[in-house]
């Protein structure tokens, strides 16, 4: 996991509509960046739907929500349509960005070892610095937990 108070790695990836997004596009806003393993799986669907339900609350704190997985743009579009999602989903089929954010790791399932995306969430401030990071993410609780973290950053 990347260190708090370090510069968040820049990226350029396409969203579910084929539009290119770069991290520097969002300077002046907070960015909640979450990495997940696969569209339309139970945990990832709960996480994305929770973020979609709370996206207006995040907007009150000038926070953009972006989910990243190695799924294709087309897969993201289907995921968005099927679940009526209101958040940005970026496609990182090469896993370069997932790796840069230290979310591409060795995993084990049923005794089999493989490389995959570890559910990881970062909060990046208006200047591009990481101000919160977690790789102990529970999909169904992540959005509510992160909204509390964002609320803590509110200027008095």
Average pLDDT, the chain: 95
The yes-or-no verdict on residue 155 having pLDDT over 80 is: no
pLDDT of residue 109: 84
Determine the structural domain holding residue 25 and report its residue range: 12-152
- pLDDT digits over 43-88, tens only? 999 999 999 999 999 999 999 999 999 999 999 999 999 999 999 9
What's the structural domain count of the chain?
A: 1
pTM comes to: 0.95
Any idea which residues carry the catalytic annotation? 44
Percent of the chain, pLDDT > 70?
A: 99
Residue 3 lies in a domain: no
Strands 130-134 and 120-124: antiparallel
Contact 29, 51 (CB under 8 A): no
113 falls in which pLDDT band (50, 70, 90)? very high
Give residues with Cβ within 8 angstroms of 59, minimum separation 6: none
Residue 1 lies in a domain: no
Q: Please report, for the domain that includes residue 62, its CATH number.
A: 3.40.30.10
pLDDT of residue 154: 77
| CA–CA dist 106, 116 (Å, integer) | 6
Tell me which of 156 and 154 has the higher pLDDT: 154
């Amino acid at each position: 996991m990347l260190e708090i108070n370090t510069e968040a790695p820049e990226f350029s990836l396409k969203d579910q509509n084929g539009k290119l997004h770069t991290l520097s596009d969002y300077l002046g806003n907070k960015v909640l960046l979450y990495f997940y393993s696969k569209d339309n799986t139970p945990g990832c669907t709960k996480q994305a739907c929770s973020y979609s339900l709370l996206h207006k609350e995040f907007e009150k704190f000038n926070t953009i929500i972006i989910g990243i997985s190695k799924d294709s743009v087309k897969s993201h579009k289907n995921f968005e349509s099927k679940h009526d999602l209101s958040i940005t989903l970026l496609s990182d089929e090469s896993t370069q960005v997932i790796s840069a954010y230290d979310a591409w790791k060795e995993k084990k399932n049923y005794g089999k070892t493989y490389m995959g995306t570890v559910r990881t969430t970062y909060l990046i401030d208006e200047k591009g610095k990481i101000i919160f990071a977690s790789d102990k993410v529970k999909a169904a609780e992540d959005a509510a937990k992160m909204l509390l973290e964002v609320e803590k950053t509110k200027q008095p």
